[in-house]
Amino acid sequence: MTTPLNPYISWFDADFDVEKSSHYRMTIQFSLDGFSYALLYLQSNALVGLENFQSEALTDSVEAFHALERALAAKGLDGKGPDAVTCLIDNRCNTLVPADLFDEHEATGYLDFAFQASGDQIILNETLGTERCVNVFAMSKSLYQMIKAKWEKARIRHTSSVFLDSVVQYAPEGRAAFVNVKSRNFDLAIVNEGRLDFFNNFRFNTKDDFAYFLIFALEQNHFSYSEHPVCFSGLILPESNIIELCKRYIKYLLFVEDRAEVPVSEALAEVPFQYYFIHYQALR
């Protein structure tokens, strides 16, 4: 049975024209909690479209891909669509390996320390642009094949790679922590003087889980959240229960800011920047 989905966010510029689809770049973020996509108009280099779908009913990545196809079809993007497509795999099955120690033939072994890659998964890797380390990750082989069948030249990345490359460049002098919030998990990175000190992903069910894992990880890394900033991105608002709870402990709690490196159309002016921070960075 087809899983019905309605967009959590749906904003498009008034001048969006599906007939000009080859003039757009698109990023797509896949997870079993939902998916999202964003469009960049090449002539103006502006972000002109964004849709985000949240669901707890998607059973596998194949179903998520078909749901994406229905969403694109509803916007007239089910044909040839944009020529430049980047697909972001948003799962927890990834690990970082120092570049000097990385051996592509041992990629599966690196993941096996923490995860057990199944036979229907493919192992990929990418070198982080700002760190001398390699992000090794697994994704559904079926999803990989469907992406390549639809967009032969699609670039496939892991969401955490975009997040880490971005925060290392974004970080101020000294120490800072960055939190990227998703539906039921969050990424945490600690940066010190422009270098990555720590990265991990944490699953949570309640606001108390969230605060506990965040504060515990910061303390384990001797991070003083009364002296250094903790910066949030993702599906989180300043007035959320999670933020209200975290403010009891964190003195300098911030949200990522738009540095205007990619213009955003008026249609997205009301959308909080942190919601599309990852897409924004992937399109730069």
Closest listed residue to residue 89, CA positions, set 142, 37, 159: 159
What was the pLDDT predicted at 3? 58
pLDDT band (50, 70, 90) for residue 268: confident
- State both tokens at 147: 């992406």
What was the pLDDT predicted at 171? 82
Report d(CA 164, CA 185) in Å as an integer: 16
pLDDT band (50, 70, 90) for residue 175: very high
| Cβ partners under 8 Å of residue 130, min gap 6 | 164, 165, 168, 169
| Average pLDDT value for residue range 159-172 | 90
What was the pLDDT predicted at 161? 96
Mean pLDDT of the chain: 89
What was the pLDDT predicted at 12? 92
What was the pLDDT predicted at 45? 86
- State both tokens at 218: 């910061």
Contacts 24+ apart (CB under 8 A), 71-77: 71/5, 71/7, 71/35, 71/37, 72/37, 75/12, 75/18, 75/49, 75/51, 76/18, 76/21, 77/18, 77/21, 77/26
pLDDT digits (tens, 9 = 90+) for 30-86: 998 889 999 999 888 889 999 999 877 677 888 889 989 999 999 888 765 787 999
What was the pLDDT predicted at 228? 94
pLDDT digits (tens, 9 = 90+) for 217-261: 999 999 998 899 999 999 999 999 999 999 999 999 999 987 666
Closest listed residue to residue 201, CA positions, set 213, 187, 215: 187
What was the pLDDT predicted at 219? 96
Closest listed residue to residue 50, CA positions, set 255, 260, 256, 264: 264
> Is pLDDT of 144 > 80?
yes
What was the pLDDT predicted at 80? 58
